């Protein structure tokens, strides 16, 4: 099994040391580099070629949000999981729209942080329950009508099956769970997810989930008793 190549970026050396000790103990994770600021990230990525970047959202020179936006604009960019001690709505949403594949709080149990790295490396989004609740609140926010109109217009490019898969992704289901619910193979689910990403010009499953929330598709499912 090929180890997941992980880059750690946090301005607190004690936090980096703790993360390195915790994550480096996993047999399937290799720490390939460490950085102390978002300004270093692109050069570190070029040098170490990580699969996943685990990065603090708050850093003194270039923060994790800006670094994520810069990384995700590159070809063959690594996945990004952002770590933070707080959970402000605007920061969460900016991070996810920038293409972050995960967002976890620093008080998340160590085993769950390790699992988050594994899941993101495998192509699954990772959101803490707190962040998921924020997304639901965001969908019903003050600008919901405008977002809903725009999101629904974008989703018209999808066929019915792709739309079903997009909604399932928005509900946080894994490929295996989607396959079971929609009576298709996991390979077919992956194909549909890839098509949805391509048609909507999105980076990852988290952004599909955001669009589903914005379009109000999850609310419709709840209203229909699903």
The arithmetic mean of pLDDT across residues 140-158, rounded, is 78
pLDDT at site 221: 59
How far apart CA 223 and CA 150 sit, in angstroms, is 21
Of 80-89, 129-138, 149-158, give the range with the top mean pLDDT: 149-158
pLDDT at site 1: 64
The arithmetic mean of pLDDT across residues 189-213, rounded, is 87
Of 58-67, 77-86, 103-112, give the range with the top mean pLDDT: 58-67
CB 37 within 8 A of CB 80: no
Q: Is residue 222 very low, low, confident or very high in pLDDT (cuts 50, 70, 90)?
A: low
More confident residue, 10 or 101: 10
pLDDT at site 108: 81
- Give the tens place of pLDDT for each residue, 48-63: 999 999 999 889 899 8
- Give the CA radius of gyration of the chain: 17
pLDDT at site 87: 58
pLDDT at site 107: 80
Model pTM?
Answer: 0.69
Average pLDDT, the chain: 84
- Give the tens place of pLDDT for each residue, 156-167: 999 999 999 999
């Amino acid at each position: 099994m090929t180890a997941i190549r992980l880059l750690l970026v946090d301005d607190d050396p004690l936090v980096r040391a703790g993360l390195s000790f915790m994550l480096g103990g996993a047999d399937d994770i290799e720490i390939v580099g460490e950085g102390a600021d978002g300004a270093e990230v692109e050069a570190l990525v070029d040098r170490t070629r990580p699969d996943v970047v685990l990065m603090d959202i708050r850093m003194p020179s270039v923060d994790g949000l800006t670094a994520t936006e810069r990384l995700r604009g590159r070809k063959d960019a690594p996945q990004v999981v952002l770590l933070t001690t707080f959970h402000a709505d605007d920061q969460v949403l900016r991070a996810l729209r920038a293409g972050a594949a995960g967002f976890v709080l620093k008080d998340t149990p160590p085993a769950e942080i390790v699992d988050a790295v594994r899941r993101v490396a495998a192509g699954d989004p990772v959101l803490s329950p707190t962040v998921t609740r924020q997304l639901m609140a965001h969908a019903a926010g003050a600008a919901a009508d405008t977002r809903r109109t725009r999101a629904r217009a974008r989703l018209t490019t999808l066929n019915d099956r792709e739309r079903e898969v997009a909604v399932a992704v928005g509900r946080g289901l894994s490929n295996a769970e989607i396959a079971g619910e929609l009576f298709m193979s996991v390979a077919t689910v992956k194909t549909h997810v890839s098509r949805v990403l391509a048609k909507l010009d999105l980076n990852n499953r988290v952004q599909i989930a955001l669009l589903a929330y914005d379009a109000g598709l999850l609310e419709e499912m709840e209203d229909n008793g699903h």
